[in-house]
């Protein structure tokens, strides 16, 4: 079953426009989720908005957004105020600029979505835009309002569709100067380098989705099933972390590692 559309609107390049739909490329619906319960009654516990000063419960319709302008002082903003500064890019992804697909660093990528034509009438226009980007190796840059904020988005042709990545804001990225300084160490000894390369070769395998499975989730599901069948059964304590042993040098550690790989 195809996932439901997250958003519907239009893809536009100059005077070429086509109706599209956006589908999240990732999902968290399979993640194990818990409810907080009252231990005595087994009933779910609900959260309530409470005035931080008076302690009174505040109804949802009595709340308003506030921007801090000092200690215990806020500028209140009504929904009408926020709508007044809303941008036009709520229903149209207008491709304003193209960049080389390899120029956008990995750190800017935030969350992926699939873009697909939502109407047979627009399929040809969508296909032409996608094919032209694929032929030129270019990626489209546009803007789109999501979650009340305008996001820069990156459009990449993939297979018969387009993958749209929301991009992080510039103020979300940390300066990598400290990382670069820490990484500028002396060149490693050639013997050690050769041994690590052999270790990498011994552990090289073909990519598989099984490599990113979550064993903790599987263990949780097994624990829940066990609790359902035998509620009084105690959960087993997690195994202790293996100790590293008395390794006296990197060379010694690598020799042991390579020896273990051969046996495996």
Comparing 15-29, 85-99, 226-240, the range with the smallest average pLDDT is 226-240
Whether the pTM exceeds 0.75: the reply is no
What pLDDT score does 184 carry? 65
Q: In the predicted model, is pLDDT for residue 99 greater than 90?
A: yes
What pLDDT score does 67 carry? 87
What pLDDT score does 32 carry? 81
Three-state helix/strand/coil letters over 7-57: EEEEEEECCEEEEEEEEECCCCCCCCCCCCECCCCCCECCCCCECCCCCCE
Average confidence (pLDDT) over 198-204: 88
Give the confidence band of 168 by pLDDT, cuts at 50, 70, 90: very high
Helix, strand, coil shares, percent, the chain, to 5:
35, 30, 40
Comparing 12-16, 151-155, 196-200, 230-234, the range with the smallest average pLDDT is 230-234
Report the SS3 class of residue 142.
strand
What pLDDT score does 247 carry? 46
C-beta separation of 8 from 29 below 8 A: no
- Across the chain, mean pLDDT equals 83
Average confidence (pLDDT) over 86-104: 84
Q: In the predicted model, is pLDDT for residue 257 greater than 70?
A: yes
What pLDDT score does 93 carry? 93
Domain map (residue ranges) of the chain: 7-29+86-167
Pick the CATH number of 7-29+86-167 from 3.40.50.150, 2.40.290.10, 2.60.120.260, 3.40.190.10: 2.40.290.10
Distance in angstroms (rounded) separating the CA atoms of residues 261 and 115: 44
């Amino acid at each position: 079953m195809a996932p439901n559309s997250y958003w519907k609107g239009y893809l536009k390049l100059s005077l070429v426009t086509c109706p599209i739909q956006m589908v999240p490329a990732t999902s968290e619906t399979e993640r194990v989720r818990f409810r907080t319960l009252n231990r005595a009654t087994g009933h779910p516990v609900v959260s309530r908005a409470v005035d931080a000063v008076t302690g009174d419960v505040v109804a949802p319709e009595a709340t308003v957004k506030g921007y801090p302008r000092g200690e215990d002082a806020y500028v209140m903003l009504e929904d009408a105020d926020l709508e007044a500064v809303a941008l036009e890019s709520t229903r149209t992804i207008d491709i304003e600029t193209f960049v080389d697909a390899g120029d956008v660093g990995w750190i800017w990528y935030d969350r992926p979505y699939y873009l697909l034509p939502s109407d047979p009438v627009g399929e040809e226009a969508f296909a032409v835009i996608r094919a032209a980007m694929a032929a030129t190796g270019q990626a489209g840059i546009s803007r789109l309002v999501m979650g009340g904020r305008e996001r820069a988005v990156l459009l990449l042709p993939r297979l018969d569709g387009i993958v749209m990545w929301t991009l992080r804001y510039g103020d979300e990225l940390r300066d990598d100067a400290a990382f670069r300084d820490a990484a500028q160490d002396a060149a490693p000894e050639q013997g050690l380098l050769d041994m690590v390369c052999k270790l990498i070769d011994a552990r090289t395998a073909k990519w598989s989705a099984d490599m990113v499975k979550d064993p903790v989730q599987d263990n949780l599901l097994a624990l829940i099933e066990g609790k359902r069948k035998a509620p009084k059964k105690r959960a087993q304590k997690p195994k202790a972390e293996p100790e590293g042993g008395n390794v006296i040098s990197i060379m010694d550690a690598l020799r042991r590692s390579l020896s273990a790989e051969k046996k495996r």
